[in-house]
Chain A
Amino acid sequence: MSGPSDYQPSNPALQWIERRLPIFGLIHSSFVAYPTPRNLNYWWTFGAILSFMLGMQILTGVILAMHYTPHADLAFKSVELIVRDVNYGWLLRNMHAVGASMFFVAVYVHMFRGLYYGSYKEPREVLWILGVIIYLLMMATGFMGYVLPWGQMSFWGATVITNLFSAIPYVGESIVTLLWGGYSVGNPTLNRFFSLHYLLPFLIAGVVVLHVWALHVAGQNNPDGVEPKTEKDTVPFTPHATIKDMFGVTCFMLLYAWFIFYMPNYLGDADNYIPANPGVTPPHIVPEWYYLPFYAILRSIPNKLAGVIAMFGAIIILCFLPWLDSARTKSSKYRPLAKQFFWIFVAVCILLGYLGAQPPEGIYVVAGRVLTFCYFAYFLIVLPLLARIEKPRPVPNSISDAVLAKTGSRSTPMVSTAIMLALAGSLFAGSIDSAKASEGGDQPPSIKWSFSGPFGKFDRGALQRGLKVYKEVCASCHGLSYVAFRNLAEPGGPGYSVAQASAFASEYKVKDGPNDAGDMFERAGRPADYFPSPFPNEQAARAANGGAAPPDLSLITKARSYKRGFPWFIVDFFTQYQEQGPDYVAAVLQGFEDKAPEGVTLPEGSYYNKYFPGHAIKMPKPLSDGQVSYDDGSPTTVAQYAKDVTTFLMWTAEPHMEARKRLGFQVFVFLIIFAILMYFTKKKVWADSH
């Protein structure tokens, strides 16, 4: 993209095309011959990583759209059907949902890298501003994508974010109505968000083309911040940068795959496995981790309009960065003060992210205000001031000088950056969980589950016993509406044969119809039928149960969680602990006490439960010793029942868990071997250049 090329393909057919459309010359000059500074470090591979992530998001997104239904009544179910029934649907959905987070991880690294090395300075201002536009588009896209599964967090996230616009004086309310297409967030909102969520990634791709174009006009910045002067300062893009970028992408894929196959729900919110309910707001509304610092800024300002302005201002201010920081030295490597303030700024952002996930009360509010001030002070006070008072260290004459000087003394800031960023990621991620403090419930004990860990498998006996407990006890009030009888015979499940599943199904009466006479009729269940719900509708369920509808149990072990807190959420990332849901469900089943402790009064029709948030649960103690008979000799105790039925409900929540972990292991073996090969290939390619 940098001027006409004298490249001529050797193949006559390609020459014929080239004379009419010089596309091969464009590719050659942009991605083959393009001179790239030879001193780039691995932080520069995040551009390629971002391109990869954009490609993955568009590819998986287009595929998910083939199976998704953008309707308020069907969206949640269609997502579940993707995960349960579509071939590799669970994989594609995990790739897309986790991919959004990975996209933001990469963009934050990319932005902080630009900040540290002064990549926004003359002549790269437009390049930087295009980057800020991409970031804004990403935020809009990510937000609308999060709305599509139509869970509780989707719905209430949409409500809160669209309400931001109501802060605009005079026209705010009209704008919000316009965004909603109704009097509240509803089906029209979901439909337009789906349409825009499909559109925006292509706009991003368009701006990325401009971004790359601007990059190829100005040339890449580099860790020393001196422009290339001679040919000795650069290496050709292919193979040097190509192979290095591919190695970077491969390493990033290891992190990506870790989440896809082992912790797909770590970055999400359990509440989003509850279908959207316009009548109940979850106790703690928390955005996705990548918005948390801005959410913290929003909440720190006690005035509605000012808060919204501050939040958007925190992003828009980035556009003015090239003029706020007028220091001539680009790289913080040669700016002793700027370097320190950079790290303070990184810490401020991480802490703001942490605060964004905390309840807005007490010390958190004060800390939020202080850090919001620090955030803006960095741009408006520190950087302009440093440009005037800081005395930078001398920069090398050229890139090759810098490379020669470097051999011997490895720069250490990169190591600390890596640690900071790893910490940042886990802090952000975990703070979501910490925000979901269960109010006053005891911490459920951690049970040793057969399905935990990277090689976890369901205990078939427990699944079969759990099914029996469900059928004989739970099913009288709780539905299991996403589970079909055929699932009982699928691999990774309770291990029944097709004939056994059919026989099991035929014990149920299923409503079908209308028949030729127009009447509904009952017939015996078939494998394709789903477990019938005990109540015809939610109102009936409510009426029969003292006003509290018993929740459907299909997803209950993924829809419930409890606060893990610092530092557990960081440990959990490495140990792959993700059994908060099962631990909680098993604990609630065993947490009933006949009498409430002294001084606790329970509302009429409630029962005391140690682990239920608030302790007053509408469900009476469901299990007692000896209630369900087991024919395999397992103890018929409440503890055993609870463990078995929770195992069964973990399987109903994620029937393909075993396939997920199995494929994950294969992918990891491949990726590790490939990363090693790529590493040595990269070394060989670069051997001549050092």
Chain B
Amino acid sequence: MTTASSADHPTRRDFLFVATGAAAAVGGAAALWPFISQMNPDASTIAAGAPIEVDLSPIAEGQDIKVFWRGKPIYISHRTKKQIDEARAVNVASLPDPQSDEARVKSGHEQWLVVIGICTHLGCIPIAHEGSYDGFFCPCHGSQYDSSGRIRQGPAPANLPVPPYQFVSDTKIQIG
């Protein structure tokens, strides 16, 4: 742009240049949006992420299954009495990510632990029934989770997250 006009005397020319520049900036910014927005999940991906129902009746005590919801593995564990007691006996304040077992399961369905099976360290999938805490062990960098899916040892900063779910009947849950 020219610098012919001085700052002390704003002229009509300055106004025109500023207005044109501002319009170009606004138009350019608005035009950018579709190019960014297209990266977000498309409508079919979002639709495929709808809630799923899982039948719990085939899962025996002490067993667990892995189902996929929105491309993420969800561990559903039918915990034993021992596992529940262990999870509840811990001093919550001593945990790296303090959270009580009661807050991580649905009351009345304490035997069912539903967690997203993705290590909170760097996204690997922990192995169930391994490690020193009767819970999960992540083979990538050695994080250990207890029978409530809480982080106990290793580099992971947080507990395994609990996905949104509810019991539609005693033996059926809806995830999502």
Interface residues of A (CB under 8 A from B): 59, 63, 66-67, 81, 84-89, 91-92, 239, 484, 486, 490, 526-528, 670, 673-674, 677-678, 680-681, 684-685
Contacts and interface: CB of A to CB of B under 8 A. Distances in A.
Given A677-B16, A681-B16, A526 B42 contact: no
A484 B40 contact: no
A527 B16 contact: no
B37 interface: yes
Contacts, number: 68
Interface of B: 1-2, 13, 16-17, 19-20, 23-24, 27, 30, 33-35, 37-40, 42-45, 47-48, 50
A117 B34 CA distance: 40
Contacts of B42: 67, 81, 85-87, 89
A88 B34 contact: yes
Nearest to B22: A677
Contacts of B23: 670, 673-674, 677
A528 B48 CA distance: 6
A249 B152 CA distance: 62
A484 B34 contact: no
Contacts of B37: 87-88
A81 B16 contact: no
Contacts of A92: 34-35, 38
Enumerate the 7 nearest inter-chain pairs by beta-carbon distance, A residue then B residue, closest first: A88-B34, A528-B47, A85-B43, A85-B42, A677-B20, A87-B37, A86-B42
Given A87-B34, A670-B27, A528 B44 contact: yes
A366 B103 CA distance: 86
Nearest to B49: A528
Contacts of A87: 34, 37-38, 40, 42
Nearest to A671: B27
27 contacts: A63-B38, A67-B38, A85-B43, A85-B44, A85-B45, A86-B43, A87-B37, A88-B33, A88-B34, A92-B35, A486-B43, A526-B50, A527-B47, A527-B50, A528-B44, A528-B47, A528-B48, A670-B27, A677-B20, A677-B23, A680-B16, A680-B20, A681-B16, A681-B20, A684-B13, A684-B17, A685-B2
Decide if the interface of chain B is mainly helix, strand, loop or mixed: helix
Nearest to A247: B20
Given A526-B50, A677-B23, A681-B20, A81 B2 contact: no
A486 B47 contact: yes
Given A88-B38, A684-B16, 7 more contacts: A63-B35, A66-B39, A85-B45, A484-B47, A670-B27, A677-B19, A678-B20
B44 A81 contact: yes
A92 B16 CA distance: 32
Contacts of A486: 43, 47
A403 to B, nearest CB: 20
A52 to B, nearest CB: 12
Contacts of B50: 526-528
Nearest to B12: A684
Contact of A674 (B13, B24, B43, B44): B24
A70 B46 CA distance: 23
Given A91-B34, A92-B38, A239 B47 contact: no
Nearest to B45: A85
Nearest to B1: A239
* Listed residue (A490, A527, A670) with the most chain B CB atoms within 10 angstroms of its CB: A670
Contacts of B43: 84-86, 486, 490
Contacts of A85: 42-45
A672 to B, nearest CB: 11
A670 B27 CA distance: 8
Contacts of A84: 43
Nearest to A88: B34
